[in-house]
Structure 1
Amino acid sequence: MTDSDIIKLTATEIAGLIASGEVSALEVTEAHLARIEAVDEKVHAFLHVDHEGALAQARAVDARLAKGERPGPLAGVPLALKDAFTTRGVPTTCGSRILEGWIPPYDATLTRRLKDAGTVILGKTNMDEFAMGSSTENSAYGPTRNPWDLTRVPGGSGGGSAAALAAYEAPLAIGTDTGGSIRQPAALTGTVGVKPTYGSVSRYGLVAYSSSLDQGGPCARTVADTALLHAVIAGHDPMDSTSIDAPVPPVVEATRHASAAGMRVGVVREFAGEGYQAGVMQRFEESVDLLRELGAEVVEVSCPSFTYAMPAYYLIAPSECSSNLARFDAIRYGLRTGDDGTRSAEQVSALSRAAGFGPEVKRRIILGTYALSSGYFDAYYGSAQRVRTLIIQDFARAFAQVDVLVSPTMPTTAFPLGERVDDPVAMYRADLCTIPVNLAGNAAMSLPCGLSPEDGLPVGLQIIAPAMADDRLYRLGAALETALAERRGHRPLDGAPAL
C-alpha cells in the first residue's frame, strides 16, 4: 500500500489495518509525516511537527501489538492536536508570541487520554491567538489556508486542525470550541467537528480563553471517526471542577444504529433571513428535505432570545478572557520584554503584554475589562448573563418539542483571506449560528452537506442536541452522511482539490 493510499483512508480503516497487521503504525505515521512535509508549506496547518515523538509513539504501538496486546480502537492512528492543549515536552503557544517557546511540564487530561489510547500525536496545529477569531488569521505565526482554495480562510479559531484533515495530513484532529471554533472550520473545510456537552470533556490543561464557554472536542473526516475519538477523550476528570461525573453518552453505538426515522427535528426560525449566502441556504434546505425522506418529522421552532446571543457572547467571552489572560504577566513564564534593571515589575509586565499579545486579543481584553469595571458590571456583564439565561430557557422549550435542532453552521462559505481582518463586526457575524450552543452548554455537530453551487466550496449543516444527549448528534449525523454520500456517489471529502 502506497503512502497516497494510506493518507486517504479513514481513521476506522487505518485502525483496522494496523490491528490486523496489514500495515504497521510506523508505516502509517511515516506516510502522514511525508504528506505534511509535502504540502504544509502551502497550508500552514501545523505550528510544530513532533517528528521524532510521533515515530516513537508509533513504534510503541507496534511493539504492543507484537506482544499480542490490544491497545484500543484508535491505536496507531495519527492525530493533529490544536495548540491550546498542554503537551509535555512539546511547545504549546496558543498561536501567541507571549507563549513562544514555552514547553509545558505536564500533559492536559485530553492529551494524556489520547496517548493512553495509542493515538499518534503528529504535532500542534495553528490557531487564532488564544482561540480568539473566526478565520485563523489572528495567529502570531501567520494564517492557515483552506485546502479547497488556498486564497481563502479555513475558519477559526481551529483552522489548523480542520485544514490538516482536509489536506490529508491527519485522519483525526482535536479542536476547541468557545463560540464555534470546532464547528466553523469543519463547515468551511468539508469535515466533521463536534462541540461536546460542556463539562463532558476535561478542560484541565486547556489554556483558558473563556472558562464558562471553552470546550475541547473531536474532528475527523467522517461521523464514525469523530465518534471513536469522542469516546476516547470524554469522561469525568477530578482535575477539572466543571467536569460532569456521568457516563459518556453512547456515541459510537449511535453511529452503528444511525437512523433519522422517528426523530423530531426542529428548524430554528431565527437562523434564517438576511446575511445568508444563497448557496448555503440551498444546500441546507436540500438536507432538511432529505431528512424528511429518511423518516424524520421536521417542524419549525422559535427561539427569540437567539437574536441577542451574539452581543451577549461578545460581553461574556471578553470579560472572562480579561480575567484569564491576566496570568500572562511576564513574571512567571512567557515573553519578557524591557527587563533591563531600570523598570518596575509593572512596567516590564505592561511592555511584555504589549509586545506579546496581538490586536484581536488586546481588543477583547480591553472590552472585557471595561465590561467588568466598577459602574458598568451590571449594565453590561450582568445583562449579558441574564440574556444567557433566556437563551437556555429557549433551548429548553425547543427540546420539549423536538429531539434535535438543525441550522446552517455558517452563513457563508469560506471567505477570502484578508477580507474581514479590518472589520471585526463582519468577522463576528460568522458566529451567528454557533454561539447560542456555547452559551447554553449544549452539544452540537457540523457535518458537510454539499458544495455551494455559487463557488464550489463546502457547506456545513449544524445539528444541536440537549446537554448529555451527544449520541443524538451521531445517530442523525451518520444517517444524513450516508444518505448524502449515496446521492453523490462518493465519500464526504472525496473530490477535494489536490494540493
Structure 2
Amino acid sequence: MTSPLSTLAPHDLTVHALSTALAARQISAVELAQHFLDRSHAHADLGAFVDFNHEATLAQARAADARIAAGQARPLDGVPIAHKDIFVTRDFVSTAGSRMLKGYQSPFDATVVNKLAEAGAVTLGKLNCDEFAMGSSNENSALVPSGHSSWAPVRNPWDTQRIPGGSSGGSAAAVAARLAPAATGTDTGGSIRQPASFCGITGIKPTYGRASRYGMVAFASSLDQAGPMARSAQDCAMLLSAMCGPDPDRDSTSLDVAAEDFTRSLDDSIEGLRIGVPQEFFGEGLSDDVRASVDAALKQYEALGAKLVPISLPRTELSIPVYYIIAPAEASSNLSRFDGVKFGHRAAQHGDLADMYKKTRAEAFGDEVKRRIMIGTYVLSHGYYDAYYLQAQKIRRMIADDFQNAFKSCDLIAGPVAPTVAWKLGEKSNDPVANYLADIFTLPGSLAGLPGMSIPVGFAANAADKGLPIGMQLLGNYCQEARLLNAAHRFQQATDYHLAKPAGF
C-alpha cells in the first residue's frame, strides 16, 4: 500500500492519516512534532500561537515513539495537537487571553488536556483566543502572540485582513493553515462552530456535560463546553472519543454517560435520515452566498438519501437577548475570583484593599470583559434579578422545548452557522451589538445544551468576499454526537470542501 507520506507533506495529512503513518513507523513522532513546530514559527505572522515549550513537546513525542516501538501504541500516539489557551496546562502558560493571567503557570492539566495526553497526543503549544472566551472575532485577546513584539490579532489564513472568528480563533486559524492537524476549542455560544465556519475546517461542540470542564477557565458555567477542531469529521470523531467521559469527582456538571468510540458508525448509510430545516434560519440578514452554499449542501444530502423536513424554531430571535443576560450574569460571578489577591495580576500602586481590587480589575480586564461583568452584575442586582435573569432562564427553557418539538419530526437540524462570511479586522470592533448578532444561529443550540458542529460546504462567490469559506451547522439531540459525525462524514466522502486549503499554506 502506498504511504500517504509519499504524495503529501506531513502537514497536509489528516489526524487519521498521521495516526496510520505513525503506527506503521513511516514517520516518527519526534520528526512530526519538529515539523509542525518549525512550520508554526515560520507562520508566526498569523498570531495563532501564544506559547511554546519545545522541550516538553519533544519529550512527549519521544515517549510516544517509545510506546509505538514497544507495541503499546495508544489511539492518538504521536499525533500533534494544540490547545486553546482557555485550558490550563502544566508545561505551558495558561492565560485565557487576558492580562489578568499573564505568565500564569498552572500546577495541573485540565481534564480534556489530560485525556488527550493519555490517548497519546503530543502538545505543540497554546493557541490565542478572545479574553476569557468572550468574543466572536478573536480581536479581544490581550496577548502578544509568539513571534510578535507587541499585541497583534489572529488573522484568517484565507485572507489575513479578515478575522478568524472567535473565541476559538487561534485554534481555527492554526488548523486551517496546517500549523497543527487538530486543536481544542470551547463553545459557549458558538465559539467552535463559528470560527470553524470562517476558516473552512470542521468543529464539533458535544452535548453540555459530555466533556469535563475541569481546568477550563470559566466564562459561563452552564454553557461552556470543550470540543475538537480538525480538518474532517473523521478526525473530530477520533479526538472526541478521547475527550469525552464522566468526571464526577472534579466536575459536578459532567454527565454520567460512558465514553464511546465515535468512529464506530461513521460509514453507516444516511438513507432516510430526516434533516430538519428551520425557516427562522433562512430569513432576512442571511447573505446570498451563505444561503446558496447551504442550499447546495442540503441538496447533496438529498442525493445521499436524506429527507428534508421543514421545521420551526420560533424563539430563535430571542436567543440573543437571553444569552446576553445569562452568560454575562455567570461571567460576573466566575470572574469575581480575579481580584489580585491569590493569583494573577495585582495593581502595583494602590491604597486600601478595596482600592487594590478596583485598580487590579481596571488594569487587567479588557473592554469586552468589563462590559459583560457590568451587564451581569446589573441583571443579578436587587430589583432586576426577577425582571431580567429569571425571565431569561424561563425563555431558555422554552428554546430547549422548541428543539424537542422539532426533533419529533426530524433526526438532525441543519442551517447556516453565521449570516455572513468572516468580516474584516476592525470592521465591527466599535459595535458590540453587531458582533453579538453574528451568533444568531449558534446561540439557540448552546442555550439548549445540544451537540452541534460546523462543516465546510462552499465558498463565497461575490467579488468582495470571493473564495472565503462557508460552513453549515448540524445540530443533534442530546448525546447524539455519533449521528452528527456520521452525517458529516458521509457528506465529506461525497464532497471535497474540507480538503481545500488557503493559498500559501
Please confirm whether the aligned pair reaches a TM-score higher than 0.5, indicating the same fold: yes
Indicate which of 416, 419, 427 corresponds to 1:411. Answer: 419
**Correspondence list, 1:65-80, <5 A:** 65-70=68-73, 72-80=74-82
Q: Which residue of 2 aligns with 1:38?
A: 42
Provide Cα deviations, 1:392-444, integer angstroms capped at 9, x if missing partner. 11011001110000010111101000000000111111101000111101000
Partner of 2:494: 483
SS in structure 2 opposite 1:150? coil
The 2-side partners of 1:112 and 1:62 are apart by 19
**Match of residue 9 from structure 1:** 13
CA contact (8 A) 2:177 2:501 kept: no
1:190 touches 1:493 (CA, 8 Å); kept in 2?
no
Q: Which residue of 2 aligns with 1:463?
A: 474
Rounded to whole Å, the distance in 2 between the matches of 1:17 and 1:399 is: 41
Deviations 1:419-474 (A, max 9, x none): 00000111111101000111101000100001111221000000000111111111
Match of 1:377 among 380, 385, 397: 385
**Correspondence 1:253 to 2:264:** yes
Match 1:496 to one of 472, 488, 502: 502
Counterpart of 1:84, as a letter, is: I
In the alignment, what sits opposite 1:488?
A: none
Q: Which residue of 1 aligns with 2:146?
A: none
Q: Residue 109 of structure 2 is aligned with which of 85, 107, 110?
A: 107
Give the deviation of 1:495 after TM superposition.
4.2
2:263 partner SS: helix
Q: Give the drift of 1:90.
A: 1.8
Question: Does residue 1:52 correspond to 2:55, yes or no?
Answer: yes
Answering whether residue 372 of structure 2 is matched by residue 364 of structure 1, we say yes
- Residues in 1 aligned to 2:14 and 2:495: alpha-carbon distance in whole angstroms: 17
**Displacement after TM superposition at 1:345 (Å):** 1.4
Q: Secondary structure at the match of 1:347?
A: helix
The Cα RMSD (Å) is 1.3
Q: How many Å separate the matches in 1 of 2:227 and 2:39? A: 24
Matches within 5 A, 1:261-280: 261-280=271-290
Letter in 2 for 1:389: R
Partner Cα distance (1:95, 1:171) in 2: 22
TM-aligned CA deviation for residue 339 of structure 1: 4.7
1:456-497 per-position Cα deviation (integer Å, ceiling 9, x unaligned): 100000000011111111111011111122xxxxx6233421
Residue of structure 1 equivalent to 2:326: 316
How many Å apart are 1:230 and its aligned residue? 0.3
Cα deviation per residue 1:327-358 (whole Å; 9 max; x = unaligned)? 00100100001356xx1111111101000000
In 1, distance between residues paired with 2:274 and 2:262? 19
- Mapped partners of 2:89, 2:214: distance in 1: 12
Q: Does 1:445 align with 2:457?
A: no
Q: Which residues of 2 match residues 236-247 of structure 1 at below 5 A?
A: 236-238=246-248, 239-247=250-258
SS at match of 1:188: helix
- Of 209, 212, 222, 1:199 maps to 209
Would the alpha carbon gap of residues 436 and 192 (structure 1) be closer, same or farther in structure 2, given more than 3 Å must change? Answer: same
d(CA) in 1 for partners of 2:260 and 2:283?
34
Q: Are residue 424 (structure 1) and residue 432 (structure 2) matched?
A: yes
SS of residue in 1 equivalent to 2:9 = helix
Distance change in 2, residues 1:2/1:421 (3 Å):
farther
Distance 2:331 2:467 in 1: 37
Q: 1:250–1:306: structure 2 CA closer, same or farther, 3 Å change rule?
A: farther
Quick one: which amino acid aligns to residue 87 of structure 2? F
Rounded Cα–Cα distance in structure 2 between residues aligned with 1:484 and 1:452:
17
1:136 corresponds to which of 135, 138, 155:
138
Distance 1:398 1:6 in 2: 43
Summarize deviations over 1:311-340 as a string: whole Å, max 9, x none: 100000000000000000100100001356
Q: Which amino acid counterpart does residue 278 of structure 1 have in structure 2?
A: D
- CA gap 1:29/1:37 in 2 versus in 1, 3 angstroms: same
- Preserved CA contact (<8 Å) 1:451 1:457: yes
Partner deviation per Cα, 1:205-242 (whole Å, 9 max, x = no partner): 11100000000001100110010000000000121100
| Aligned residue in 2 for 1:126 | 128
Whole-Å Cα distance in 2 between the matches of residues 145 and 442 of structure 1? 29
3-state SS, counterpart of residue 10 of structure 2: helix
Question: Who is 1:211 aligned against?
Answer: 221
Match of 2:458, SS?
Answer: strand
User: Do 2:53 and 2:91's aligned partners in 1 also have CA atoms closer than 8 Å?
Assistant: no
Preserved CA contact (<8 Å) 2:52 2:124: yes
Tell me the residue number matched to 1:344. 352
- Deviation, structure 1 residue 52: 1.5
SS of corresponding position for 1:370: helix
Distance apart, 1:260 and its partner CA: 2.5
Deviation at 1:250, TM superposition (A): 4.4
Alignment pair present for 1:189 and 2:193: no
Q: Which amino acid aligns with 2:414?
A: V
Structure 2 match to 1:330: 340
Task: Say if 2:455 and 2:498, in contact at 8 Å, map to a contact too.
Answer: no
User: Is the Cα–Cα contact under 8 Å of residues 190 and 442 in structure 2 kept in the other structure?
Assistant: yes
Aligned match for 2:66, one of 63, 85, 90: 63
Q: Is the 8 A contact 1:6 1:14 kept in 2?
A: yes
Deviations 1:260-283, CA, capped at 9 Å, x for gaps: 211000001111111111101000
- Tell me if structure 1 keeps the 8 A contact 2:267–2:490: no
- Rounded Cα–Cα distance in structure 1 between residues aligned with 2:417 and 2:30: 36
Aligned equivalents of 1:328, 1:392: Cα separation in 2: 32
Cα separation, 1, equivalents of 2:413 and 2:473: 8
Match of 1:98 in 2: 100
Secondary structure of the residue aligned to 1:450 is strand
The equivalent residue for 1:146 is 156
2:165 alignment partner, one of 155, 170, 191: 155
SS at match of 2:410: coil
State whether residues 202 and 237 of structure 1, in contact with CA within 8 Å, keep that contact through their aligned partners in structure 2.
yes
Among the aligned pairs, what percent are the same residue?
46
Deviation at 1:293, TM superposition (A): 1.1
Matches of 1:351 and 1:2, distance apart in 2: 58
**Contact preservation (8 Å) 1:45, 1:164:** yes
